[in-house]
Amino acid sequence: MTLRRLELLQWFGLVAAGPTWFGQLVLGWGLTEARCGAGGQHWEISNDTWQALLMTWGVAVFLAAEAAAVIVFRRTAGAEEDDPPPPGRMHFFATAAMTANVIFLIIILLTGFASILNVTCRQS
């Protein structure tokens, strides 16, 4: 694998999970607003189905990002984090990405399950 492809995998592995969770959060909020708002009642949006789809999408992106980080980590296994760039930097970012992606997976799952298991429309 070329160094350029490893760098692309490194960046995908590092930054993909965070924006994916943010997208899940914003789209899920919008779906809930559309489901519960008076203007969206005629659409008959199934909140639980859409939240489950958003969560599944988030887990799929996590799996791809984690796989990319693991590939870069294994390909730069001979480098240490404080070695000169690019191998040292790539190994460091791959290590950080593997850890951060697991944290984002937990956040994605918590967001999805909370949106599904909580009462969607509650009038105060």
What DSSP line would sit under 16-71, residue for residue?
SHHHHHHHHHHHHHHHHHHHHSGGGGGG---HHHHHHHHHHHHHHHHHHHHHHHHH
Considering the entire predicted model, what is its pTM?
0.86
CA-atom Rg of the chain in angstroms = 19
pLDDT at residue number 39: 74
Higher pLDDT, 38 or 50: 50
Whole-angstrom distance, CA of residue 75 vs CA of residue 10: 11
Domain extent listing, the chain: 7-36+45-117
* Segment 86-116, tens digit of pLDDT: 888 898 999 999 999 999 999 999 999 999 9
Tokens 């937990």 locate to 106
Distance of alpha carbon 74 from alpha carbon 66, whole angstroms: 12
Per-residue pLDDT at 69 exceeds 90: yes
